[in-house]
Chain A
Amino acid sequence: MVLTEEINRILASSENRGWVLEPDAKNILSQAGLYVPEFRFAKTLEQALEGAAVIGYPLAAKIVSPKALHKSDVGGVAVGLENDDQLKEVFERFSRFEEFMGVHIEAMAEGLELIIGAKIDPQFGPVILMGIGGTSVEIYQDTAIRMPPLTPAEVQCMVDSLQARRLLYGYRGKPAVNMDKLTETLIGFSMLVVEMADHIESIDLNPVMCNADACVIADARIMLK
């Protein structure tokens, strides 16, 4: 795969900021054939309500602002919104934030929270990370790191090297993660990373919601060089 015009345009326009805004990041991933929840970037409340009507509740809403790299740290994430009233309240709250550009609204995804990441290592070049995701990812550090290109066998080996691998194979009545989709996601992502290696510093896809049917990237942070 070569980088599409759209991806190049987004990377160029984000260069000065040093990172890619959520709707742009989701666009890049979607262009690369990866699964992201259906989303809208709403600059006005009307656009948000229109978008919500198409996607349907429950929804997640995230602030879009060049000042909000760590969205949850600044109170810029609301999940499980059930109706127009709640969306309206969140939109108004977010709109008071510094350099507010709009609200990213998207469908809620469910499943096991994984992290899929990438980093350009000074000694080894691009490397891909996969493991147990969520907000405590740095506490448990239950992850595997590999150099691309990844193969299905290598992905299997990454999964099996996790302490918490049983969670992926279905634990206490929960269905197993769809391994084909996870493999597809990791391989597709690793190809994108190799293509973008000159532009990026690191990427967090966290969480990636994995269930029996799909792996959906719920949040994406792309840090540029």
Chain B
Amino acid sequence: MDLERLLKPKRVAVVGVSTSKENHPANVIFKKLMLRYPVEVHGVNPRGGEVQGWPLYESLSSLPVVPDMVIIATQASLVPKIMEECIRLKAGGALVMGGGFAEIGNTDLQNRILSIAEEADFPFLGPNCLGIFAPGRIDTLFLPGERMQQPPQGGVAIVSQSGALLVDLLVKFANRGIGVSQGISIGNKAMIREISLLNYLAADPDTYVIVFYVEGFSENEGAKFIAAARQCKKPVVVMKSGKSEEGTRAVSSHTASIAGDYRVFSEVLAQHGIVEAKNENELLAYSEVLSVYPRNIRGNVGIITISGGHGAVATDFLAARGMSVPQISPEVHKRIKNRLSPSVKDIAILNNPVDLTGSAVDEDFIVSYDEMTHAPEFDALLMLVLPYSPGLSVDLGAKVSNPSRKRVKPLVAYIPHVEKYQIFIEGFELNRVPVSDSIEGAVMMLDGMRRYRSWF
């Protein structure tokens, strides 16, 4: 199954554009693609006519081009015929938006379009899905673009069974400034399911991390998903809904009773280095950090701060997530001390956490980071930056990111996110150092790396 034309279309047809209903899903998508995206778009309506000055075609066959993506936004009963026409025309694939299929018990109709598509090896998304959103490239979400906060272009691909939850996630990625390569809603996932997208995204040059929002797998599909994720050289993050068990099922053994669907899901994912996000905060933290540092750490973290209190809080969060805060060796201690500024040298507490005190200036952070990133006792570093401290400049992030560029050890930072400190945050983030607005969030990022395991 070749998904390239469907998921990276240049020519798009929208079937079902209405001449009278301006808010019809097909109209919203048609108009949005026309006005905002670098794709060639054609609207189809069996009665022809025009919409806001654009002519509509009476059928797919009368289009001047062969579409890569056909968006089918008609009632369910018309879909089989339209899909057959797509196949005859050798379109790249279809996106079946409308409901009225398996989700309301109409499995016959869904099976019918599935067998039509399978016979021709013709890929389609859905039915009952919102399709795809790729910043600057394509957007088939049934909502006016201006109503949505859009994430920037970046390395995270999100695949979600639920379309509405996908939109929510995209908004949250946008709020955190985490870049997205594409979000794909798979709805009833009749033909294109998680595994086919995992394989496609594994080879997609724009994607560095693959995120799945999963309700459940079909029989044995979980085992195949794991095999595919292990083959994939990119981190895979999974969040599952429907974790609560149907408690009524009679079980005759202790093992069957303890190893319920979700426990098995959670533990076998972890076994294979697939990163399970238990909630949205984890999902965002893991996605962000793994798109910058797609690698595993054991979780021996060096902390640099100007506040003993912050250091203690971070230490507790790290311990709670199974990570450690090893002592600094005497040699590293000595080297840092020799390079600290005179006002800090004698008052800084150079254990781990390294407390540079409120007298610290940018250079003290840089020196500490530079020495600690080369020390074997640490495999990641956490910087707790309090931007109200008078010695720190807005250039701290830009300055400190120089050694991190060498990728000796991954660095994440905590900076309180208020508008006033935005320039501090950007100094880090624009230089590829992930920043969290909470200490716990920064620790979560480190945990994302600890959970990830690459098999290559």
A binds B: yes
Residues of A within 8 A of B (CB): 19, 69, 115, 117-119, 121-125, 127, 129, 131, 137-138, 141, 143-147, 154, 201-204, 206, 221, 223
Residues of chain A with a CB closer than 8 A to B52's CB: none
Residues of chain A with a CB closer than 8 A to B267's CB: 144-146
Query: Are B268's CB and A141's CB within 8 A?
Result: no
Residues of chain B with a CB closer than 8 A to A145's CB: 259, 263-264, 267-268
Query: Are B256's CB and A202's CB within 8 A?
Result: yes
Partner of B268, one of A122, A124, A223: A124
New contact pairs (6) apart from A123-B261, A206-B254, CB-CB < 8 Å: A123-B218, A124-B220, A125-B222, A201-B252, A204-B255, A223-B253
With A121-B259, A125-B220: A204-B253 Cβ-Cβ less than 8 Å? yes
Residues of chain B with a CB closer than 8 A to A154's CB: 271
The verdict on B217 contacting chain A, using a C-beta distance below 8 Å, is yes
With A121-B222, A124-B223, A145-B268: A129-B261 Cβ-Cβ less than 8 Å? no
In the bound complex, how far is the Cα of B216 from the Cα of A117, in angstroms? Answer: 24
Query: Are A123's CB and B223's CB within 8 A?
Result: yes
Partner of A147, one of B256, B261, B268: B268
Residues of chain B with a CB closer than 8 A to A203's CB: 253, 255
Query: Are B216's CB and A123's CB within 8 A?
Result: yes
Report which residue of B219, B254, B255, B263 has the largest number of chain A beta carbons within 10 angstroms of its beta carbon. B255
Residues of chain B with a CB closer than 8 A to A138's CB: 254, 257-258
Question: How many A-B pairs fall under 8 Å by CB?
Answer: 91
Residues of chain B with a CB closer than 8 A to A202's CB: 251-253, 255-256
Query: Are B268's CB and A117's CB within 8 A?
Result: no
9 examples of A-B residue contacts, CB within 8 angstroms: A123-B221, A124-B226, A124-B264, A124-B265, A125-B223, A131-B258, A143-B259, A202-B255, A204-B254
Shortest Cβ-Cβ A-B pairs, 10 listed: A117-B255, A123-B222, A145-B267, A124-B222, A202-B256, A202-B253, A123-B217, A204-B253, A121-B264, A125-B223
Residues of chain A with a CB closer than 8 A to B222's CB: 121, 123-125
Of all chain B residues, the one with the shortest Cβ separation from A142 is: B258
In the bound complex, how far is the Cα of B102 from the Cα of A23, in angstroms? Answer: 48
Query: Are A137's CB and B258's CB within 8 A?
Result: yes
In the bound complex, how far is the Cα of B222 from the Cα of A69, in angstroms? Answer: 31
Partner of B256, one of A69, A131, A223: A223
Minimal beta-carbon separation of A142 from chain B (angstroms) = 10
With A123-B264, A123-B265, A124-B265: A147-B255 Cβ-Cβ less than 8 Å? no
Query: Are A69's CB and B220's CB within 8 A?
Result: no
With A146-B268, A146-B271: A123-B253 Cβ-Cβ less than 8 Å? no
Query: Are A141's CB and B221's CB within 8 A?
Result: no
Minimal beta-carbon separation of B266 from chain A (angstroms) = 8
Looking at chain A's contact residues, is the secondary structure mostly helix, strand, loop, or mixed? strand
Partner of A121, one of B218, B252, B253, B261: B261
Q: In which size bucket is the chain B interface?
A: 20 to 34
Residues of chain A with a CB closer than 8 A to B268's CB: 124, 127, 145-147
With A124-B222, A125-B220, A202-B252: A143-B258 Cβ-Cβ less than 8 Å? yes
Report which residue of A127, A145, A203 has the largest number of chain B beta carbons within 10 angstroms of its beta carbon. A145
For B215-239 the 0/1 string (1 means CB < 8 A from A) is 0111111110010000000000000
Partner of A122, one of B219, B226, B255, B263: B219
Q: Which of B331-386 contact A (CB under 8 A)?
A: none
Minimal beta-carbon separation of A217 from chain B (angstroms) = 14
Residues of chain A with a CB closer than 8 A to B256's CB: 119, 201-202, 223
Query: Are B271's CB and A117's CB within 8 A?
Result: no
For B191-235 the 0/1 string (1 means CB < 8 A from A) is 000000000000000000000000011111111001000000000
In the bound complex, how far is the Cα of B255 from the Cα of A216, in angstroms? Answer: 18
Minimal beta-carbon separation of A114 from chain B (angstroms) = 12
Minimal beta-carbon separation of A147 from chain B (angstroms) = 5
In the bound complex, how far is the Cα of B221 from the Cα of A203, in angstroms? Answer: 22
Query: Are B253's CB and A127's CB within 8 A?
Result: no
In the bound complex, how far is the Cα of B256 from the Cα of A15, in angstroms? Answer: 19
In the bound complex, how far is the Cα of B256 from the Cα of A137, in angstroms? Answer: 12
Minimal beta-carbon separation of B417 from chain A (angstroms) = 35
Query: Are B219's CB and A115's CB within 8 A?
Result: no
In the bound complex, how far is the Cα of B72 from the Cα of A98, in angstroms? Answer: 65
Residues of chain B with a CB closer than 8 A to A121's CB: 222, 259, 261, 264
Query: Are B271's CB and A115's CB within 8 A?
Result: no
Partner of B259, one of A125, A127, A206, A221: A127
In the bound complex, how far is the Cα of B251 from the Cα of A201, in angstroms? Answer: 10
Residues of chain B with a CB closer than 8 A to A122's CB: 219-220, 261
Query: Are B259's CB and A117's CB within 8 A?
Result: yes
Of all chain B residues, the one with the shortest Cβ separation from A127 is: B264
Residues of chain A with a CB closer than 8 A to B254's CB: 115, 117, 137-138, 204, 206
Of all chain B residues, the one with the shortest Cβ separation from A205 is: B255
Of all chain B residues, the one with the shortest Cβ separation from A69 is: B252
Residues of chain A with a CB closer than 8 A to B271's CB: 146-147, 154
Minimal beta-carbon separation of A185 from chain B (angstroms) = 15
Partner of B255, one of A19, A124, A125, A129: A129
In the bound complex, how far is the Cα of B23 from the Cα of A181, in angstroms? Answer: 68
Of all chain B residues, the one with the shortest Cβ separation from A134 is: B254
In the bound complex, how far is the Cα of B258 from the Cα of A70, in angstroms? Answer: 17
Of all chain A residues, the one with the shortest Cβ separation from B265 is: A123
Query: Are B223's CB and A141's CB within 8 A?
Result: no
Of all chain B residues, the one with the shortest Cβ separation from A135 is: B254
Of all chain A residues, the one with the shortest Cβ separation from B252 is: A223
Residues of chain A with a CB closer than 8 A to B221's CB: 123
Of all chain A residues, the one with the shortest Cβ separation from B220 is: A125
